[in-house]
Amino acid sequence: MTPARRLRPILATLAGLAALAPVYYLTEAAARCLRTAHAAFAPAPAGLAYLAAVAVIVTLLSVWPAAALGCGVPLTAAGVLFALDLDAAMSLAATLPWARAGGLPWSPPDAAPWAELAEPPGTLAGMSGLYALLGALLVLSALPRARRRSILDL
C-alpha cells in the first residue's frame, strides 16, 4: 500500500470534521429562518438557501465514506444528546463559538441577534431532530452498499 493511499482516509476524515461546523451552523440558521417565517406567516427564501447549502455539503461528503463518517458521527451524537438530555445538550452548545452573542458566524455586527441569549447555537436544529437526521444519513451513506440483484434472479 502506497503512502498516498494510506493518507486518503485520514484526509477524508479531516475534511468531514472540517465540514462539521458549516453543517452545524447552516442547519441551525435554516431552522431559525423557518421558525421566524412560520411565526410571521411569511416565506423563508433564506431558510431554503441555507438548507440547499447543507444539502450540497452533505452530498459532497457522502461521496467519501471516511468524510461522511467524520461529519456524520458527531452530528448523530449531537442529535442523540438533544433527544435524550436537553439540558446537557444546551449547556454543551453554550460553549460553542458565537454562543455568547446569540448569533451565527455570518451575522452582521449591528444586527439583532438570531436568538435569545438563553438559546445557544444548535438548539432549534437539535430539538427538531435535524442533526440526528443529517448525521444518520451521512453514516448510512458511508456503509458498504449491498449487491444489487434483480428480483428475477433466483
Give pLDDT, residue 3: 79
Region 30-53: mean pLDDT is 91
d(CA 119, CA 136): 24
d(CA 80, CA 86): 10
Cell of 76: 448523530
Which ranges of 41-85 does DSSP label H, i.e. alpha helix?
Answer: 45-61, 65-84
Q: Summarize pLDDT for 24-37 with one digit per residue, the tens.
A: 999 998 998 898 89
What is the domain range of residue 81?
10-142
pTM (whole model) above 0.75: yes
Per the domain annotation, does 4 fall within a domain?
no
CB atoms within 10 A of CB 107: 15
Per the domain annotation, does 49 fall within a domain?
yes
Give pLDDT, residue 145: 78
Per the domain annotation, does 62 fall within a domain?
yes
Res 22 pLDDT > 70: yes
Structural domain count, the chain: 1
Cell of 38: 412560520
Per the domain annotation, does 63 fall within a domain?
yes
Per the domain annotation, does 93 fall within a domain?
yes
* pLDDT band at 138; cut points 50, 70, 90: very high
Per the domain annotation, does 101 fall within a domain?
yes
Could you give the percent of the chain with pLDDT greater than 90? 58
Res 146 pLDDT > 90: no
Per the domain annotation, does 90 fall within a domain?
yes
Per the domain annotation, does 149 fall within a domain?
no
